[in-house]
Amino acid sequence: MAGNKTFTMIKPDAVSAGNTGAITKMIEEAGFRIVAIKKTQLSPEKAGEFYAVHKARPFYKDLCSYMSSGAIIPMILEKDNAVEDFRKLIGATDPTKAADGTIRKLFAKSIEANAIHGSDSDENAAIEGSFFFSNTERF
């Protein structure tokens, strides 16, 4: 059965463009409850750890420097069928391919600076959520 939690972070391009409020509003209006939220900045090393699965990809180094270039807003979100529904809300990785009305279509600048992250499985949602937060059960 699909779980009810997912993990997201608003990426540096969207935070620096002042889109945190608009994106958070879309997330809540789509029925997600914010369980945990903060503003922080990743070091290049921490960004590399978060995206370790992409280590062999040609864009890995650029991705790590982009993801550590400014503030991010990580969040744990709750909703039925959270992972799948949230991936639909954010749209395709490449904003030129993202469906109309999705967060990436509206706010992403490029395939790399694509405004927002969304976990791709229940297992990764749990791993990624605990990368940034602890003791969130009671929220």
112 binds ligand GDP (CB under 6 A): yes
Six token digits for residue 31: 């029925």
93 binds ligand GDP (CB under 6 A): yes
Beta 73-78 vs 5-10: how paired, if at all?
A: antiparallel
Residue 117 designated active-site:
yes
65 binds ligand GDP (CB under 6 A): no
> Which residue of the set 117, 119, 125, 128 is catalytic?
117
84 binds ligand GDP (CB under 6 A): no
Minimum CB distance to ligand GDP smaller for 38 or for 61? 61
Six token digits for residue 2: 């699909």
Measure Cα distances from 52 to 5, 15, 35 in Å.
Answer: 22, 23, 25
91: left (phi over 0), alpha (psi -120 to 50) or beta: left
Positive or negative, the CA dihedral 100, 102, 107, 109 is negative
63 binds ligand GDP (CB under 6 A): yes
Using CB under 6 A, pick the residue from 38, 43, 45, 59 that binds ligand GDP: 59
Minimum CB distance to ligand GDP smaller for 26 or for 63? 63
Q: Which residues bind ligand GDP (CB under 6 A)?
A: 54, 59, 62-63, 93, 111-112, 114, 117, 120
